[in-house]
Amino acid sequence: MKFTELSNNIFSQVIADYHKTDHVDTPIQNPYELRSIEYYLYLKNWIDTVQWHLEDIIRDPNINPVEALKIKRRIDKSNQDRTDLVELIDSYFLDKYKDVQVMADATINTESPAWAIDRLSILALKIYHMREQVERNDSTPEHQTACQQKLNILLEQRNDLSIAIDQLLSDIEAGNKFMKVYKQMKMYNDPSLNPVLYGKK
């Protein structure tokens, strides 16, 4: 099984599991072995799925400002968790391909495998929710047609991205490309780097 086939299957499983309750406070029940790549893929998409729905909630024009701030803080933490997990998945690939003999003319990719998989995870959510719009029976035929056109593009995009990720992994495994991972080093969450947090006058 290709890596993106595994990923897409798990992402679909996560989204289906989440929508059994469709609530942002539903406890995760990850069915995979702890620290396995399947475990990390499930966790990755669960974080993305909960954040997707938090982003919906916070856009309610009638939301209580205090509640909105709580959700904003929760989204900030979710973004950091997401980044940490992407870096963890990249560590899996670095370890997997650590003994590959890199070719002299090998090239580097514009993004690491895990950041491409991050985009694949978000695409799974876009596809699920755009399909929901297509299947709405309280909307107009025009709305359904427009959403079907968007869904077709999203499905094509997922197919193209899946092919590209699998090709990247094959190239890394063959030594034709090499991985080089940079930590994100986000500054706004760091009390020693964010001037608001360290009290710059």
Q: What is the pLDDT of residue 199?
A: 73
Residues in the chain: 201
The residues spanned by each domain of the chain are: 3-190
Conformational region of residue 150, where left means phi above 0, alpha means psi within -120 to 50, and beta covers everything else = alpha
- Summarised one tens digit per residue, pLDDT across range 108-149 is 999 999 999 999 999 999 999 999 999 999 999 999 999 999
DSSP label at residue 39: H
> What is the C-alpha R_g of the chain?
19
> Which residue in the block uniquely carries the two structure tokens 């978000």?
122
- From residue 103, how far is each of 97, 107, 113, 170 by CA, in Å? 13, 9, 19, 13
Q: Tens digits of per-residue pLDDT, 72-98?
A: 999 999 999 999 999 999 999 999 999
